[in-house]
Amino acid sequence: MFNRTKSKKGRRSPMATVSLIVVGLMTTGGAYALFSSTANADDSTSTVAASSQSKVNEGQKLFASNCATCHGLSAQGTSEGPSLIGVGAASVDFQVGTGRMPMAAQGPQAEEKPAQFTDEQVDALAEYVASLGPGPSVPSTDLTDGKSGDAAEGAELFRINCAMCHNVAGAGGALTEGKYAPNLQSVSGKHIYEAMITGPQNMPVFNDLNLTPQQKADIITYLKYVQDNKSPGGFALGSLGPVAEGLFIWIFGLGAVVAMTVWLTAKSN
């Protein structure tokens, strides 16, 4: 009797066996899922790294065949061109993307011309130079599309920081020694932003301590507004300001007065 009771109390419940099986399956499945996701993440990271390295290698080949003559095989600079180590991807994207580099000929400054490389080649060159040292990166689209800023705030910032060289409407202007501030009325928002953070030619650098990214976006929004809206006063005369307007009045206004005087005098005689 005693042995029979002990046997009943020590017997394992059927539900316990089922529970153990369920726990085992869940543990095994969870471990497999974790392993699979980690493996996929590693594969994705490896793919991105391989793609980036491929682009760097392509950029290095383009650099060696098109830029090394002036900037050196390792971009260390020569007597014909400055070092590019640490200038960042944004500088390359601006200079090469606007056709300023490679230069057609030595002069007071590199002039804008049709780009000599495709967008993919420009990206590859930028990736290669960026791999040589840290520097400003290509800005994101949300800062350069001309839609995310305040045009009124941008107009004020532009008048304070940029108008003395580029004119209040971004029409450009002459500087010393044959240099000039270029016309901004057809420049893309991306290249305007890149110019502000890299300081090409005679332009100062406006880092994030001088102008925040949002303030740069405000300036781009203002310039895009000027590009898209014609002068409400009629013929803008190149938006060159009072000098051009005064010259127009002097030549045509005073010329009309002289012509009228001659006509009246001839008629009376």
Helix (H, G, I), strand (E, B) or coil at 180: strand
Domain limit, last residue, from 113, 137, 161: 137
Range among 11-15, 178-182, 226-230 with highest mean pLDDT value: 178-182
Q: Is the pTM of this model over 0.85?
A: no
Domain housing 63: 42-137
What local confidence, expressed as pLDDT, does residue 257 receive? 86
Are 130 and 158 in the same domain?
no
Are 132 and 160 in the same domain?
no
For residue 162, is it within any domain?
A: yes
What local confidence, expressed as pLDDT, does residue 258 receive? 86
Considering the chain, what percentage of its residues have pLDDT values greater than 90? 53
> What total of structural domains would you count in the chain?
2
Query: Could you tell me which residue, 127 or 254, shows the higher pLDDT?
Result: 127
Are 72 and 150 in the same domain?
no
Domain limit, last residue, from 90, 119, 137: 137
Q: Kindly give the interhelix angle for 151-161 and 213-228, rounded to the nearest 10 degrees.
A: 100
Are 201 and 161 in the same domain?
yes
For residue 267, is it within any domain?
A: no
117 closest CA partner among 147, 137, 93, 152: 93
For residue 155, is it within any domain?
A: yes
Q: What is the mean pLDDT of residues 157-176?
A: 91
CB burial of 201-221 (b: ≥16 within 10 Å; e: otherwise) equals beeeebeeeebebebbbbbbb
In tens, the pLDDT along 210-230 reads 999 999 999 999 999 988 877
Helix (H) or strand (E) holding 88: helix 88-97
Residue 41 has pLDDT above 60, yes or no: no
Q: What is the mean pLDDT of residues 45-67?
A: 81
In tens, the pLDDT along 255-265 reads 888 888 888 88
For residue 222, is it within any domain?
A: yes
Query: Could you tell me which residue, 244 or 161, shows the higher pLDDT?
Result: 161
- Per-residue pLDDT band for 52 (boundaries 50, 70, 90) equals confident
For residue 12, is it within any domain?
A: no
Q: What is the mean pLDDT of residues 236-248?
A: 63
What's the residue count for the chain? 269
- The strand pairing partners of 180, in sequence order, are 174
What local confidence, expressed as pLDDT, does residue 234 receive? 59
The pair of three-digit structure tokens given for residue 62, joined into one six-digit string = 């383009």
For residue 15, is it within any domain?
A: no
What local confidence, expressed as pLDDT, does residue 7 receive? 47
In tens, the pLDDT along 26-40 reads 777 666 666 665 555
Residue 249 has pLDDT above 80, yes or no: no
Q: What is the mean pLDDT of residues 5-14?
A: 54
The single-letter code of the amino acid at 258 is V
What local confidence, expressed as pLDDT, does residue 18 receive? 63
> What average pLDDT does the structure give for the chain?
83
In tens, the pLDDT along 68-86 reads 999 999 999 999 899 999 9
Are 127 and 145 in the same domain?
no
For residue 22, is it within any domain?
A: no
